[in-house]
Structures are given as C-alpha cells and as structure tokens.
Amino acid sequence: MNKSRRSFLKTAGISAFALSSGIAEPANEAYAKLAPGRYTRGETALTAKRWAMVVLTREFKTPQDYEPLIKACHSAHNVPDIAGRQNIKWLWLDAYAHVFPDDMNSHLDEYTRAASYPLLCNHCSNPPCVRVCPTQATYKMEDGIVAMDYHRCIGCRFCMAGCPYGARSFNFMDPRPHLANPAPNPTFPTRMSGVVEKCTFCAERLAVGRFPACVEASDGRLLFGDLENPSSDVRKALANNYSIRRKPSIGTQPGVYYII
C-alpha cells in the first residue's frame, strides 16, 4: 500500500461531495420507505408556519363560560374525568396567582385577581418537555405544534417534570372505565395506563380543515391562527391589545397568549 497524501485527499473530497450533494440520497430513500404509494396532507388541511392561540379573557365573565370549551375538548379526545389527583386534563382552569405568578401583586384589581383562566399546553417554541423525552415520543412539528406520539411513550414522566406549566397528565389507570360507553368520540383513540397525554392543538382536526374543538366552541373568544402571518386574527389581536404569556422569564416562548 502506497497511497499518497494527494490521492487520499482526492478520494475523501469526492466522498464528502457525494454524501452532501444528494447523489447518494436515493439509496437512503429506498431504504426508508416501505409502501408503494405517496404520503401527502389532505386537500382541505389548514397549515401555518407557527400556530398560536390568543385568549380574550375579558370576554369570559364566569368560570362557567369556559365549561362548553372544556367539554368540547375532552369529549373530542375521549379525556376521562377521574375524581381526585389522578385526573387527566387537556384544558382546565386556575386562578391568576397560579397562572401568572410573576405578575402577581397584592394590589391587583379584584376582577383580574378573582377570574379563572383557561390553561392548556403552551406549544412552546423552546419546549423543555421535548428536550427531556428519552424516546422522542414528544416532538415539535414544523408548524410549531408540540405533538405526542402515544405509541412511543414509555411513561417515564420526564416531560411532566420538564413542563413548567403542568400541562401534562399521566394515566395512572386505564381511562376507559372512566369514560362513557361507547366513548364520547368513537373515531378517536383513547389512551391506556402508563402513558402521558396533553393537548395537541387538535392536529387531527387541522388536518381535515377544522379549527381546534375549544376554538370552535368559544364563539370567537379564543383566536387561533398563524403567528407568522401579519394579517391573521391572532396577529391583529396581539397588535391591538396588551397581552401576556405564562412565565415568560424562563424563555420557553409559549404559543398561547392572554389578553387580560
């Protein structure tokens, strides 16, 4: 063997070019795909660069005003109602002091202090839950939705420890006995004991051209749209009102905005 430095560099350069330029790509693709068909989005699918939600909290007068939203969400996704601390929640309510601890002061006006605020997964731009998940069962999709692949969840609950908003629930038991029979939405799967679940911004509804269930049930009091599109409802609402997000100082960049 008498390889000159020059011929080694030549081969190395050509290999690097082939690998990075896509000449070697088709081989990878043939390996990755099994089915002979093609995969695409639905024709009516709603798409965005960055989905976001704006809650017009002044439009909700009492906690009961949020009930239809919670009901719509939980029945669309077969979320059970379990008495006690092992309940599952995708959309729920809490008081100002818990929702916006950073903004709490002892002289806050009575209305703001006493009101209930709706909570859900914030679909952060920098989601800590995704960083800590050891199986990539939770991940950020192209459109900003922090999604769950329940099939991969091993129930380690790192994501629950990682989430600063308590947006994730663990199934301590089989949810089915706690649901109506037949399930409220027989076209959507339930979950099983040992997996974590949370709001997914209704990715399955966006895929068929429908807004999330809570937004649909809110009579225009929840806005949903593309944060990257300056003419979207959410951008207009944010441009014209003072809005806050939960725990901004930790840098997660939530996608859910509250107009107080």
Partner 1 sequence: MYNAKAVIFGILIFVGLCASPFWASFIGRDYKSTDIVLPKNEKNCIEDADFMRSQHMRLLNEWRDEALRNENRVYTALDGKKWVISLQNTCLKCHNSYEDFCQKCHVANSVYPYCWTCHIIPKGGK
26: contact with partner 1 by CB under 8 A: no
User: From CA 153, how far away is CA 157, in angstroms rounded?
Assistant: 9
Q: Choose the binding region for ligand HEC from 65-73, 174-182, 187-195, 229-237 (rule: CB under 6 A).
A: 187-195
Nearer to partner 1, 26 or 36 (CB): 36
Options 130, 183, 250, 260; binder of partner 1; rule CB under 8 A: 183
User: From CA 149, how far away is CA 85, in angstroms rounded?
Assistant: 24
x-or-dash pattern for partner 1, window 83-122, by CB under 8 A? ----------------------------------------
User: From CA 168, how far away is CA 157, in angstroms rounded?
Assistant: 9
Q: Which residues contact 36 (CB under 8 A, 6 or more apart)?
A: none
x-or-dash pattern for ligand HEC, window 191-210, by CB under 6 A? xx--x-------xx------
User: Minimum distance from CB of 119 to partner 1 (Å)?
Assistant: 24
- Residue 36 CB burial class (10 angstroms; 0-12, 13-18, ≥19): exposed
Structural element, H or E, at residue 239 = helix 233-240
Options 22, 84, 182, 230; binder of partner 1; rule CB under 8 A: 182
Structural element, H or E, at residue 162 = helix 158-162
Query: Does the bond joining 26 to the residue before it have cis omega, within 30 degrees of 0?
Result: no
Where do contacts with ligand HEC occur on this chain (CB under 6 A)?
Answer: 150-151, 189, 191-192, 195, 203-204
Where do contacts with partner 1 occur on this chain (CB under 8 A)?
Answer: 33-43, 45, 139, 141-143, 147, 149-151, 174, 182-183, 186-192, 203-204, 207-208
